[in-house]
Amino acid sequence: MADTDAQKQENRIFPPPPDFARNATISGMDAYKAMCAEADRDYEGFWAKLAKDNLAWHKPFSKTLNESNAPFYKWFEDGQLNVSYNCLDRNLENGNADKTAIIFEADDGKVTRVTYRELHERVCKLANALKSIGIKKGDRVVIYMPMSVEGIAAMQACARIGATHSVVFGGFSAKSLQERIIDAGAVAVITADEQARGGKHLPLKAIVDEAIGMGGCDAVRNVIIYRRTGGNINLVRGRDVWLHELVDKQPASCDPEWVEAEHPLFILYTSGSTGKPKGVQHSSAGYLLWALLTMKWTFDIKPQDIFWCTADIGWVTGHTYITYGPLAAGATQIVFEGVPTYPNAGRFWDMIQKHKATIFYTAPTAIRSLIKAADADAQVHPNQYDLSSLRLLGSVGEPINPEAWMWYYRNVGRERCPVVDTFWQTETGGHMITPLPGATPLVPGSCTLPLPGIMAAVVDETGQALPNGQGGILVVKRPWPSMIRTIWGDPERFKKSYFPEELGGKTYLAGDGAVRDEKTGYFTITGRIDDVLNVSGHRMGTMEIESALVANALVAEAAVVGKPDETTGEAICAFVVLKRARPSGDEARQIAKELRDWVAKEIGPIAKPKEIRFGDNLPKTRSGKIMRRLLRVLAKGEEITQDVSTLENPAILEQLKQS
């Protein structure tokens, strides 16, 4: 599905539909520019006003930004609030009590609706339940749950009592879960017996048992289990409790714990350049402010909208655009338990039609796989469904190629709906560079312009600004409220990773390359500049996968690189040297399978290499450094045209090319 060169020289422009622009929260480029100018003129005043107007404060803040200990910035420092109060109680007070907060569609198609009043009650009961087992403000709680109202309620309940949650995606292995439980020092784990996805039941509680059984999780006093499927599980006496048993006894109201603006709302682990995942720590007030503002600005959320973000709560997109943003905005949202291809690849379109979704937000990988499915089977083509309820489409998590963008725009949005290609990261808390649907003329493949207040720029390695048209590294020059506060337990790594000395120590380094269009100044993200891969919108460190591979008894050495993939964006390609002789034929296939399963067990199925090649050695410099740039070329199946004079063992290239 490669885009033609003509498409890469993108010159199609789609101005906002006039109807949309007329009613939009940010209506037109003049309005956008005025907001940017306001932020330029009085940066702190700009944010202070937004924070006062958009959040309900228990104690108002008097200082907007504290930069004295940069890059450990503090926002709205002396203010106090509660995130769950802002998401739930505020809606009861605003006349939204009987409004549907969540339309939940289970894997098997069963639909349940939950109003704001009901959700508030569920969260209060769960919050009381957590308190009843001794969980208090500042404690860390790991959440390892399926997509469910209970999962969202668990996050909100933690927020209500000031406990810091750390959600671990249900696809991660026992070992990954154990590492995160230990790193966060979690006192409890909230999980489910099993998850239902694509017609299958997959264990969750058994994986929690395995993770805790690996040792080191001594701080965990309780495991709380939501009964989802009724599948068989082991109950550990004194430690394990059923969620329903714990909750049923609880009162239906729970006073929120007022926390400082900077109180850590959550830690979310993500991959970096080294083998160890980073616990990205977010604040309460600054984070929530941006979750809410981007709902208003990027998604133009209106009271009558039916919003649907297809992400999982295990990723940041599910945090900001399922658990926090839509609820803070008082919206009605769809929450989906299953997968886009079950019972068939028309599931998303069917659900949009059935629930009359107005705003749809998904990942390019999903779009690309649904394009393939629709090409193969006309029955699951979006043109078979009534999608007239839609008014806005969004894309997130990886670059969207112009061809997929056009398909999405034409076939799903029927050329009526703007497509917002939102660039952001776990660390940024919410959207950073994105079109505004009622203002920004769209260009397929470009995330266009930074949101008001976001001082994004493209610079060279010394921090010097580069002219438009010249590719460089993406930075953010000023702190913003929803930015990462630190890496949990590792402030030095936080400084080194995001605020390197070479850039002056105060400029946020996103880790992506970018280029701005010469005429429009629009940004295009050119991909990660570090050893991080993006496979199906899932972020993974090459080192993490290499560490997993070398932990296998058969493996002597491994190097992992990404290669372009039509559906998943990037695919994982591993070059492996075994302790025994290089295998070939069936033996090679057998060992490759073993290693793939091994990686799934060590990290999770999402980290399985698509391709494994065996060599007697890896291409190395004379000082022993693996030359990954050559491996990247080999992985793509291209000829090596680069200089290989520093290579110790050039013959190895031929071997790795063939294997």
Measured from the CB atom, the residue of 309 and 578 that comes closer to ligand PRX is 309
DSSP character for 605?
G
Sign of the Cα torsion 209, 211, 214, 219 reads negative
Nearest to ligand PRX of 366, 595 (CB atom): 366
Is residue 380 classed exposed, middle or buried when 0-12, 13-18 and 19+ CB atoms within 10 A define those classes?
buried
Would strands 306-309 and 359-362 be described as parallel, antiparallel, or unpaired?
parallel
Other Cβ atoms less than 10 A from the Cβ of 470: the count is 12
* The two three-digit tokens of residue 655, written as one number: 């071997």
Q: Which residues bind ligand PRX (CB under 6 A)?
A: 270, 316-317, 396-399, 421-426, 447, 510-512, 525, 528, 534, 539
Element of type H or E holding 538: strand 538-541
Q: DSSP H helical segments within 472-584, as ranges?
A: 491-498, 542-550
The neighbouring-strand residues paired with 562 are: 572
Q: Of the two residues 99 and 528, which places its CB atom closer to ligand PRX in the complex?
A: 528
Q: Least distance in Å: CB of 350 to ligand PRX? A: 25
Comparison of 240 and 398: residue with beta carbon closer to ligand PRX: 398
Closest approach of Cβ 272 to ligand PRX, in Å?
10
Closest CB to ligand PRX among residues 396, 635: 396
Rounded least distance, CB 623 to ligand PRX, Å: 30
Residue nearest to ligand PRX (CB): 426
What token pair was written down for 325? 């943003």
| Upstream peptide bond of 71 is cis (omega within 30 degrees of 0) | yes
Quickly tell me which residue has 């599910």 as its tokens: 318
Nearest one of 512, 322, 299 to 425, comparing CA atoms: 512
Nearest-approach distance from CB 244 to ligand PRX, in angstroms: 33
Question: In this structure, what is the dihedral angle of CA atoms 542, 547, 553, 556, given to the nearest 10 degrees?
Answer: 70
Return the ∠ at Cα 643 (arms to 640 and 649), rounded to 5°.
80
**How near is the Cβ of 398 to ligand PRX at its closest, in Å?**
5
- Residue 259 Cβ, how far from ligand PRX at the closest point, in Å? 25
List the alpha helices (DSSP H) in 144-242.
149-161, 174-184, 205-213
Shortest separation between residue 48's beta carbon and ligand PRX, angstroms: 26
DSSP structure class, residue 413: S
Q: Which is nearer to ligand PRX, 109 or 527 (CB)?
A: 527
The secondary structure of residue 324, as a DSSP letter, is I
Indicate the residue among 143 and 208 with the shorter CB distance to ligand PRX.
Answer: 143
CB of 537 to ligand PRX, least distance (A): 6
Between 286 and 399, name the residue whose CB sits nearer to ligand PRX. Answer: 399
